[in-house]
């Protein structure tokens, strides 16, 4: 049971699975239910009174345009004339009957197109039927709609042939490919027949709420249940949060300490296209499945194994997939606990011992805390103990590793800051009514006053950004890595007469007055070894709230005399000389060239040659890196796909931490941080 108000501080990866462009839904039993009566007005009232963004312009044209885009993202269902007709006739946001009629037109057209695709697949005799001179667009979101139904049907003919080619290139068996594609199309028809009225209402309602910001969403009773199922999977199963995009299941977050995270076999944005609930079972093609169906197949008792067919995010083409196996487990609080280790760096005839504290989440045992239990578990208490141990071990400095830390308890964020900064405000929180409240500690001493560095990446978000921003503003230590996620907002969950509404009600600001929203925290020193992706981050989300700033608080920064330019120069030289840097550049350049290709040839022979070329390029990059490490090169591409990534992952991790340690050592040699006695303000 959800409480009436719940604050969301983590990355809210839009997990509204039933609305994934809805290219596969329909039903003959759709109706405007009595429960919907007055519900949209109820939602408008809450948003207009309590949402952070008060001046949102919601018009009939914006709402229906959004709804049509959610239905037909690639603009391959409705003609331009049909879409314009819907828009011209839509005069009332509350007219749900018209909304349902539009959806019915959509589902009938979808069914017609799927059946025509089935006829095309059934007519295919051999690969000579797949060697056309035509191309399809890799992405049609920014393209115009087609002018006629005939053009739409012709394009769908190319789409299904392209899909056939992709599968055929993976299994090299024409008959089994034909069977697999026909099964996929049957699954799409089944999914069309499983759509419920609540799904359509939710899709339409979220076409309204998403105009406010991407984290404001309506959850029907069913989608709330699916949300809980997926969260359950994150804690009992493989430890992953999933979403659906264009019918494909994607990894949006790995739970720290979970089986998937520990295995190193899955990454954020990897696609799951096949699942075998047990190793001895055949892989089920799960494209175009509902998220709850995929989740239930992946879930299972702990210590049992599940096989997944994945397409790595680094792969520019669906044909470069692989099969992995993960042992299911239960993610416990202690699995996410902060951990420490030491690394030794030799530099200019001197040995440095650097402590590393890995903090995967800002956690707190709220149940024990609410019962006033003294020894409740929390990230700040654990880090405080680890700092005490590291001081006793006489480390020269500490790296606080926040890579992949998507947030958690706000209280823990400023409690952690106190350990390093002592007294003072850590963050400012602005309410939707414009009032601003500083959060921090008015008294207290530093638990650790020695040199410290914070390591971040693109997946460091919310509470991680608050802590990193405070370190930067107070000049307590360097922030190293890449720009962070950029989520500077807080959401609340409100019960409705039917379902729930999650909406943005607060925004974070640093003590300097800067926002973490959209831009995130820009590191003092960029480290290209850590995870970065242009596809991830707040600024990639539609209608995200903008960056802005407010007046700074009065705060006393540390007197840091670090020569950041010099430290950055030293680091850049080390990075440029690194074989890991060469490897990462090779991967990025290869992927960029493939991604920039906007057209896909619907030609089996051309694609087969392209696949061979892609495999050769990828294998060359991998083997060049392995040879530089003194490792045995892969004999062929299949050996690379089947290889355990742990060997390379361990080396990459070692390189990241060693470079961060060298930056911290340079920081030690260039500065002696102490607190300014005078309070500074803007």
State the angle between helix axes of 174-193 and 149-171 in degrees (0 to 180), rounded to the nearest 10: 130
Q: 120-127: long-range contacts (C-beta < 8 A, 24 or more apart)?
A: 120/157, 120/160, 120/161, 121/160, 121/164, 121/178, 121/181, 121/182, 121/185, 122/178, 122/182, 124/161, 124/164, 124/178, 126/174, 127/168, 127/174, 127/604, 127/605
CA distance linking residue 423 with residue 442, whole number of Å: 5
Domain shared by 163 and 302, yes or no: no
Q: Whose CA is closest to 471, among 509, 526, 510, 517?
A: 510
**What are 612-627's pLDDT values in tens digits?**
998 999 999 999 999 9
The pLDDT of 29-51, averaged and rounded, is: 94
**What are 192-224's pLDDT values in tens digits?**
888 899 999 999 999 999 999 999 999 988 766
The pLDDT of 231-244, averaged and rounded, is: 70
Compute φ and ψ for 344, nearest 5 degrees: -110, 130
Domain shared by 22 and 75, yes or no: yes
pLDDT at 127: 96
Domain shared by 29 and 106, yes or no: yes
Question: How far is the CA of 595 from the CAs of 158, 187, 588, 591, 640, in angstroms?
Answer: 20, 29, 10, 6, 22
Could you tell me the pLDDT band of residue 239, with boundaries at 50, 70 and 90?
confident
CATH code assigned at 270: 2.30.42.10
What is the CB neighbour count within 10 angstroms for residue 533?
Answer: 16
Coil, strand or helix: which one is 303?
Answer: coil
Q: Whose CA is closest to 470, among 423, 511, 503, 506?
A: 511
Q: Which residue has the higher pLDDT, 3 or 345?
A: 345
**What are 360-396's pLDDT values in tens digits?**
989 887 777 777 777 888 899 999 999 999 999 999 9
Q: Which of 169-183, 276-290, 608-622 has the lowest mean pLDDT?
A: 276-290
Q: Is the pLDDT of residue 12 over 70?
A: no
pLDDT at 237: 80
**What are 456-467's pLDDT values in tens digits?**
999 999 999 999
**What are 129-163's pLDDT values in tens digits?**
999 999 999 889 889 999 999 999 999 999 999 99
**What are 547-592's pLDDT values in tens digits?**
999 999 999 998 765 689 999 999 999 999 898 988 888 888 887 7
Q: Which of 217, 244, 263 corresponds to the end of one domain?
A: 217
Residue 246, domain extent: 224-330
Domain shared by 546 and 655, yes or no: no
Question: Is 480 part of any domain?
Answer: yes
pTM: predicted TM-score of the whole model, two decimal places: 0.86
Question: Is 470 part of any domain?
Answer: yes
Question: Is 309 part of any domain?
Answer: yes
Q: Which of 67-76, 171-180, 238-247, 656-665 has the lowest mean pLDDT?
A: 238-247
pLDDT at 526: 95
Tokens of 576: 């440029």
Q: Which residues of 484-510 are buried (b: 16+ CB within 10 A; e: fewer)?
A: bbbbbbbbbbbeeebbbbbbbbbbbbb
pLDDT at 203: 95
pLDDT at 234: 53
Residues 499 and 224: beta-carbon distance below 8 Å: yes
Domain shared by 524 and 433, yes or no: yes
Tokens of 51: 């949402």
pLDDT at 227: 57
**What are 646-680's pLDDT values in tens digits?**
788 888 999 999 999 999 999 998 875 555 443 44
Could you tell me the pLDDT band of residue 638, with boundaries at 50, 70 and 90?
confident
CA distance linking residue 73 with residue 5, whole number of Å: 33
Question: Is 566 part of any domain?
Answer: no
User: How would DSSP label each residue in 578-606?
Assistant: -HHHHHHHHHHHHHHHHHT--EEEEEHHH
Residues 625 and 583: beta-carbon distance below 8 Å: yes
Domain shared by 629 and 652, yes or no: yes
The pLDDT of 412-432, averaged and rounded, is: 94
DSSP state of 544: P
Q: Is the pLDDT of residue 1 over 70?
A: no
Residues 113 and 158: beta-carbon distance below 8 Å: no
Domain shared by 148 and 246, yes or no: no
Question: Is 319 part of any domain?
Answer: yes
Domain shared by 512 and 552, yes or no: yes
Question: Is 345 part of any domain?
Answer: yes
Could you tell me the pLDDT band of residue 48, with boundaries at 50, 70 and 90?
very high
Q: Which of 293, 315, 330 corresponds to the end of one domain?
A: 330
pLDDT at 589: 85
Domain shared by 539 and 620, yes or no: no
What average pLDDT is seen over the chain? 87
Question: Is 538 part of any domain?
Answer: yes
CA distance linking residue 326 with residue 542, whole number of Å: 34
Domain shared by 302 and 315, yes or no: yes
Question: How far is the CA of 352 from the CAs of 450, 508, 560, 664, 668, in angstroms?
Answer: 14, 37, 21, 10, 11
What is the CB neighbour count within 10 angstroms for residue 458?
Answer: 23
Q: Which of 154, 187, 217 corresponds to the end of one domain?
A: 217
Domain shared by 74 and 169, yes or no: yes
Question: Is 108 part of any domain?
Answer: yes
Q: Is the pLDDT of residue 56 over 90?
A: no
Q: Whose CA is closest to 304, among 276, 334, 285?
A: 276
CA distance linking residue 395 with residue 455, whole number of Å: 18
Q: Which of 22-26, 84-88, 271-275, 301-305 has the lowest mean pLDDT?
A: 22-26
> What residues contact 383, with CB distance under 8 A and at least 6 apart?
338, 357, 359, 400, 416, 419
CATH code assigned at 408: 3.90.226.10
Q: Whose CA is closest to 71, among 95, 29, 100, 33?
A: 100
Count how many domains the chain has.
4
Domain shared by 263 and 173, yes or no: no
DSSP state of 212: T
Residues 208 and 99: beta-carbon distance below 8 Å: no
């Amino acid at each position: 049971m959800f409480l009436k108000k719940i604050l969301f501080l983590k990355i809210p990866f839009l997990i509204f699975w039933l609305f994934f462009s809805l290219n596969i839904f329909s039903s003959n039993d759709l109706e405007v239910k009595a429960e919907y009566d007055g519900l949209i007005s109820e939602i408008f009232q809450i948003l207009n009174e309590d949402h952070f963004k008060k001046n949102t312009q919601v018009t009939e044209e914006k709402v229906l345009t959004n709804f049509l885009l959610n239905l037909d993202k690639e603009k391959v269902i409705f003609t331009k004339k049909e879409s314009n007709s819907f828009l011209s006739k839509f005069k009332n946001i509350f007219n749900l009957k018209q909304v349902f009629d539009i959806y019915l037109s959509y589902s009938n057209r979808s069914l017609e197109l799927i059946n025509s695709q089935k006829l095309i697949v059934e007519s295919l005799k051999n690969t000579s039927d797949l060697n056309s001179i035509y191309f399809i667009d890799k992405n049609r979101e920014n393209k115009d709609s087609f002018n006629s139904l005939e053009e739409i049907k012709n394009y769908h003919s190319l789409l299904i042939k392209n899909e056939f080619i992709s599968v055929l290139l993976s299994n090299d068996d024409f008959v089994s490919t034909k069977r697999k594609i026909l099964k996929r199309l049957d699954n799409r028809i089944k999914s069309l027949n499983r759509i419920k009225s609540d799904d359509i209402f939710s899709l339409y309602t979220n076409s309204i709420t998403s105009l406010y910001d991407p984290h404001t969403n309506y959850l029907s009773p069913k989608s709330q249940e699916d949300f809980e199922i997926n969260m359950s999977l994150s804690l009992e199963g493989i430890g992953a949060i999933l979403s659906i995009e264009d019918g494909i299941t994607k990894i949006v977050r790995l739970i720290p300490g979970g089986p998937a995270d520990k295995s190193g076999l899955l990454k954020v944005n990897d696609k799951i296209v096949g699942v075998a609930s047990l190793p001895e079972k055949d892989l089920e093609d799960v494209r175009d499945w509902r998220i709850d169906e995929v989740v239930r197949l992946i879930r299972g008792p702990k210590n049992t194994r599940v096989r997944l067919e994945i397409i790595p995010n680094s792969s520019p083409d669906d044909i470069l997939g692989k099969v992995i196996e993960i042992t299911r487990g239960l993610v416990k609080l202690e699995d996410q606990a902060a951990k420490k280790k030491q690394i030794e760096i030799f530099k200019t005839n001197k040995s440095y011992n650097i402590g590393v504290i890995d903090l995967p989440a800002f956690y707190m045992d709220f149940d024990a805390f609410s019962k006033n239990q003294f020894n409740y578990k929390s990230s700040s208490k654990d880090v405080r103990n680890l700092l005490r141990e590291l001081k006793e071990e006489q480390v020269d400095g500490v790296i606080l590793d926040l890579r992949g830390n998507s947030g958690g308890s706000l209280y823990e964020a400023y409690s952690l800051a106190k350990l390093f900064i002592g007294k003072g405000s850590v963050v400012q929180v602005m309410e939707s009514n414009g009032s601003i409240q500083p959060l921090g500690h008015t008294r207290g001493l530093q638990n650790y006053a020695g040199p410290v560095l914070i390591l971040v990446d693109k997946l460091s978000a919310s509470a991680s950004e608050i802590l990193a921003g405070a370190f930067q503003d107070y000049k307590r230590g360097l922030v190293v890595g890449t720009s962070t996620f950029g989520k500077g907002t807080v959401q609340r969950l409100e019960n409705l007469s039917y379902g729930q509404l999650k909406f943005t009600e607060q925004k974070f600001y640093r003590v300097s007055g800067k926002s973490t929203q959209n831009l995130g925290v820009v590191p003092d020193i960029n480290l290209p070894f850590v995870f970065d992706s242009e596809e991830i981050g707040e600024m990639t989300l539609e209608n995200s709230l903008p960056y802005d700033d407010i007046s700074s608080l009065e705060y006393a920064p540390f007197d840091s005399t670090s020569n950041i330019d010099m430290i950055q120069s030293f680091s850049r030289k080390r990075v440029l000389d690194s074989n890991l840097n060469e490897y990462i550049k090779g991967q990025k350049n290869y992927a960029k060239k493939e991604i920039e290709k906007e057209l896909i040839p619907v030609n089996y022979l051309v694609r087969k040659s392209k696949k061979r070329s892609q495999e050769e390029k990828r294998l060359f990059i991998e083997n060049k890196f392995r040879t530089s490490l003194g490792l045995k090169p892969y004999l062929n591409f299949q050996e690379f796909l089947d290889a355990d990534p742990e060997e390379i992952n361990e080396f990459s991790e070692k390189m990241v931490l060693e470079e961060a340690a060298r930056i911290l050592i340079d920081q030690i040699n260039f500065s002696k941080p102490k607190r300014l006695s005078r309070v500074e303000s803007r």
